[in-house]
Amino acid sequence: MNKFIRSLTAVTMTMMLSIGMVGCSSTDKKEGQDSEKPKEKEYSVGIVLGEGGANDQSFNQSSLEGLDKAKNDLGIKGTYLESNQDADYAPNIETFIDQDVNLIIGVGYTTSTAMLDAAKLYPEKQFVIIDHNYEEEGTEIPANMLCVTFDEREAAYLVGLIASKMSETNKVGFIGGMKIPNITRFEEGFNAGIKAGNPDTKLLSQYANSFDDASLGKSIANQMYSNGADVIFSAAGGVGTGAIESAKEKNKYAIGVDMDQNNLAPDNVITSAMKRVDIGVFDIISKAKKGEFDGGKAVVYGLKDDAVGIAPTTSKNVPKEILDLVEDQKQQIIDGKIKVEIEK
């Protein structure tokens, strides 16, 4: 009897110990799960560059400067993809979709078709197109997309003033990349500025139908200089760098675009019509990260936002009295006293 009781007691204790171990193990696991909180997903941005590549000394490069500022100041994760041809845009966008980035940005008009298609195909994702407004071509902007544009006329008006005052032949040139709204606005503002500075100034204008053919830009500029122009403003990406090279070789004046391009020819690039794409990119990323993405419309950045204007190196080659005139006209534009409009 005592032997039976001892055996029963041993079995009972073994069962109780097993239950205790299971219970303890279960509790430990539960406590471990509670202590391992899931990490918050890092906000990410993917930029699909347009023609010209990352070091185009113009539009793409400025966009990446805005991305770098967002990475440094906002702590986001950001990367970009270059496109060698139009057929690369859609796959590059798909790459960012697969990576589940929070915000996809397409730079320039050439990315517009692929960006619009993607915005319609992935309504749960957020997209931004830089320097293109679908409404200008009669297309509705999707609710998950934002168009970021700039008032090119304001910046071009100011460099037009400078061109007319610096020209000794009363003949200046304009080279455009493609005849699309954001480029024709540069021409319109430039023409308004030269007429305000000197009504007798004649404008020579030509479009290259390209944003990356530097040799074509140089050829067009050579012809314009040969025809009497002594200042040429190019709004044409890589084509414009070719025009600047022509100015350097012929010892003529050139006007850069988008970024301060004086470094390309310090004695020849007298100013640049700056379009601060970096400011627009940073601002949109900042708002989107805070949950303030307001899609379905176009936003315009201008002089009042310090997002367009003339290059800081302008004072190197342009006399103070001309700069004073430009500053006065700039303030009048901001105050609404001067409206830069298309010449009828």
Instruction: Write the pLDDT tens digit of every residue in 121-131.
Output: 999 999 999 99
Q: Do 201 and 253 belong together in one domain? A: yes
Q: Do 91 and 218 belong together in one domain? A: no
Residues near 194 by Cβ (< 8 Å), separated by ≥ 6? Answer: 160, 161, 163, 164, 172, 201, 203
Q: Do 111 and 194 belong together in one domain? A: no
Instruction: State the CATH number of the domain containing residue 61.
Output: 3.40.50.2300
- Sequence-separated contacts (24+) of 3-9 with Cβ below 8 Å: none
Q: Do 188 and 53 belong together in one domain? A: no
In a domain, 84, yes or no: yes
Q: What is the pLDDT of residue 24?
A: 41
Q: What is the pLDDT of residue 140?
A: 97
Q: Do 177 and 120 belong together in one domain? A: no
Low pLDDT (below 70) residues in the chain: 1-40, 57, 342-344
Q: Do 317 and 173 belong together in one domain? A: yes
Q: Do 321 and 198 belong together in one domain? A: yes
In a domain, 59, yes or no: yes
Which strands sit side by side in the sheet containing 44-48, from one edge to the other? Answer: 77-81, 44-48, 103-107, 126-130, 145-150, 297-301
Q: Do 269 and 225 belong together in one domain? A: yes
Q: Do 267 and 179 belong together in one domain? A: yes
In a domain, 4, yes or no: no
Is residue 81 within 8 A of residue 94, CB to CB? The reply is: no
In a domain, 203, yes or no: yes
Residues near 4 by Cβ (< 8 Å), separated by ≥ 6? Answer: none
Number of domains in the chain: 2
In a domain, 31, yes or no: no
CA 281, 260, 271 angle in degrees (round to 5)?
Answer: 135
In a domain, 34, yes or no: no
In a domain, 10, yes or no: no
Helix (H) or strand (E) holding 268: none
Statement: the pTM of the whole predicted model exceeds 0.75: yes
**Residue 220: count of CB within 10 angstroms of its CB:** 24
Rounded Cα–Cα distance for residues 101 and 173 (Å): 43
Q: Do 200 and 138 belong together in one domain? A: no
Q: Do 87 and 122 belong together in one domain? A: yes
Q: Do 67 and 114 belong together in one domain? A: yes
Percentage with pLDDT > 70 across the chain: 87
Rounded Cα–Cα distance for residues 309 and 305 (Å): 10
In a domain, 39, yes or no: no
Rounded Cα–Cα distance for residues 271 and 257 (Å): 9
The parent domain of residue 86 ranges over 44-151+278-304
